Structures are given as structure tokens and as C-alpha cells.
Chains A and B, each alone.
Chain A
């Protein structure tokens, strides 16, 4: 399993309640760097300035939504290799399909996943052994 201290992560989430508890947990896990962005534009700026090893991306965001951020990232030659784990409470089939078509590595409906499962999924993606989406 990937060692957290070798990796950096960015949490893109506008709900401060959620970004706070998630980033705290990732810090406790020992990640090398945990960045937080509260909107799509800020997320892109931070990712371009300091590319992380994985992006945790909400979909409903101010200024630029998650689908647009995902599109921008996957269209950027330098950044397109970074795995993007979508963490959203939009759970409609078409939302999940659209994110996957745009290149999301996986899609998690936040309310259905414990923090531990989110962390496990991050390790799985960093190990590069993610199989097909188990979004639910």
C-alpha cells in the first residue's frame, strides 16, 4: 500500500465542514502535503502552482464547477496524469457517467462512504490499482 508521507493531496470542497474534517484526517494519516481549495478557480490555480499526487474533487463548486475543473485538468498535458477522485453528493447515473467520461479515476457519493473508505480509495488510486468504478 502507498505510504502517505510520499504523497501530496488537494481537497477541493466548498463546504468548510467537510473540507476541514477530511483534510484533518488526511493530515493524521501523514500525507506529505494537504492543500484545500474552496472553489474551482482556486483549485486550478493551486494545482497548477503545486501539482499534487491526487485531487479530491467536489462537483458543486462556486466560480467553476467540478466538471469544468475536471475537463481543464484532463485537457492539460502536464496535469492530465493526476488521478482525480470525485467526492460528490450528486449521485445520478448521468453525473457519474459524465465524470467518468471526463476522466475521473473514481466517483464516490460522500454520504455513502465513511472517511476510512475514502482514505482506502485514495491509497488504492495512488497504488494505481483502481478497477472499475464502484460509485454508489
Chain B
């Protein structure tokens, strides 16, 4: 290529880059390594109402400060985003635009690296998620209203069936009638459980799930759960071994919510047990500032191909469906989201026809 063509190609390339930057429907900001704004595209001007002349040469945290409803100290976490290469999507993030409105945003940041491998700056691409958030809110509100409306007739069915089963007024009933009433009661219970799960998912997804943290002993909570599951475990011929030491440090968490999480995990461990395997073990150990506890069963396990999907909403492993065990596929999703809201995590180890161990971490009470 002649020098003339090389120069022509360079100028086309530069002009094309400008055209791309100014025509994409996302805000683009380029900052240098000191986080001073170097470039602000037209769509960023359109989204924010700021002119590039207002913004260029200003620190990004001063020009278009990113704030979080839940933590006013958070700014643009650009370096960490560059390091991880992930899109940063915190539900609380917003920028205040020229009109004064708080605009919820999600953003992605990428390092701009020179030919010598040195980082020259960071490109931030952000978009307005106001409509997404509003849709999420409307969906959540809809689920909430529908769930409330469904709970009312479900409560009536529950209380009427319970009254018939209790038979406190001594009306005669044969075994066939009694069996059918019990089956109806159990079906209604499953429906109530599903309504509760849908409500929980709705609250978790919309960021309206609240935690009421206290310090409590996991050993004691586990004893309560074992007591509650006595009949269920007995019906499956399973014993629960609480190996959590009495003197293990307290955790700092929402007791009712963690109770629901553990109840769900232990219930799963019992109901997916295999013939000839009659024990579920629960244990815990301290790892620095966190408490790591586990629920281990000798159950049907999870096939390898299902492992990566197992925490997705409504996902059920094939062998779980084949075993004709009841379940909505929401329990593990909800459980992990609740644990993550506490700053902990949840993961699984499993082998088909051997068993499953669910691991959970939670923060220990601060001294």
C-alpha cells in the first residue's frame, strides 16, 4: 500500500470511529488513567443533558457522579470493572442528569491498552434502564396483587379442609373420605407454597426483599428445624444428624429468612433420598469471618448436565422430575438469592446416585 493510501486509510478509520461513537445508542465516556474525562459521545449528551464541553477535562466522579441509593460512598468502580471484565449492574446505581432526575443506569467498562501493553484509559459504556426498572416494578406489583388475591381463597380452603379433617364436631367419615380430604389438603398446601415462592421471587428480583438482621446460634436454629421436620423425616425413614457444634460463633443474619433457607435445603435432602440411605448430615465450621455450613445427603444426586442450571428459576433436574417428587424449581434460586443478600454464597457438590452436599456461607457476628 502506498503512503498516500495508508494516510487515506488512517483518516477513514479515524472518521469511522467518530461516526460509530456518535451513532451508537449508548452513552460512551472515555477517561484517562487518572479518571479525567477525555471523550463524551453524542448519545451520552442526549441521555444526561450535559454538553461534552461541560464534562471533558473534569474528573468523572465530579462530572457525572454515579451514586447508589444503598451506599452513598460508592462512586464509579471503574478499575474493578476493568479487572473483572464484567458489566456492573447494581440495582441501586443512578446518575443525576442535568434536569435533576435520578437516572438508573447499568454500565460496562473496558481498559484501553496501547501498543506497548500500557493502559491508556478506560472506556465506559452506559445505558438508561428507567423503563426496565419500571417494568420490573409493575411486574412485581402485579405478582404481589395476584398472589394476595390467590392467598385468600387458598386460606379458606385450608381452614375448611382442616376443620373437616379435625372433625371436632364428631361427624362420621369413612377412610376413603378421610384420605381424599388429606390429599386435597396437601394439594392446597403445595399451591400456597408456590404462591409464597412466586412472591419471594418477585420481591427478590425487584430489590424489595428486606432483611431484619440479628445475631443467633445456628445450632439452636437447626434443632428447631429438626423438630419441625420430625414427621416428614420419619415418613421418609430419614434421620437428621446435627453436627453443628453448640459453641460455634453466632451468625449475623435475618433469622426467619435463614430458617426458610435451611428448611428448604434439609427438606430437599430428605425428599430426594435414595432407598437404603437414611441419613442427612448438617455441619458447620468457621473460616475467618464467615461461617461455612453444609447439608449433606445420600440422595439421587444431580446429573452433571444439570449442575450449571440448578440455581435457575423453575429449573428441575431430569432425575428429580422422574422421581415424581413435588417441586417448583424455585427453592434453590430463592435460597441462594437470600444467602447472597446477606453477603454469603451457596454452591453444590453432587454426584448422581451418590448424593449432594449444599454449601452455604454467612457472615459471623462482629465482635
Contacts and interface: CB of A to CB of B under 8 A. Distances in A.
Interface centre among A24, A60, A112, A116 (most CB of B within 10 A): A112
A116 B166 CA distance: 10
B199 A28 contact: no
Interface majority SS on B: helix, strand, loop or mixed? helix
Interface stretch (B50-58, B90-98, B147-155): B147-155
A90 B151 CA distance: 9
Nearest to B260: A136
Interface majority SS on A: helix, strand, loop or mixed? helix
B151 A89 contact: yes
A111 B163 contact: no
B156 A17 contact: yes
Nearest to B149: A89
B156 A89 contact: no
Contact of B156 (A21, A25, A93): A21
Contacts of A92: 144, 203, 208
Contact of A111 (B155, B212, B256): B155
Contacts of B101: none
A91 B152 CA distance: 12
A89 B163 contact: no
Contact of B155 (A89, A116, A134): A89
Interface string B130-171: 000000000000001000100111111011101100101100
Contacts of B166: 115-116
A121 interface: no
Contact of A115 (B148, B163, B192, B199): B163
Interface in B193-225: 195-196, 199, 203, 208-210, 212
Interface centre among B154, B159, B195 (most CB of A within 10 A): B159
A42 B178 CA distance: 39
Contact of A91 (B159, B162, B199, B212): B199
A136 B160 CA distance: 21
A136 B151 CA distance: 13
Contacts of B163: 21, 24-25, 115
A15 interface: yes
B143 to A, nearest CB: 11
A122 to B, nearest CB: 14
20 contacts: A18-B152, A18-B155, A18-B156, A18-B159, A21-B159, A28-B169, A89-B151, A91-B148, A92-B203, A93-B203, A93-B208, A93-B209, A97-B210, A109-B151, A111-B152, A112-B196, A114-B158, A114-B162, A115-B159, A116-B166
Nearest 6 pairs of A and B residues by beta carbon:
A89-B151, A93-B210, A110-B155, A17-B156, A111-B151, A111-B155
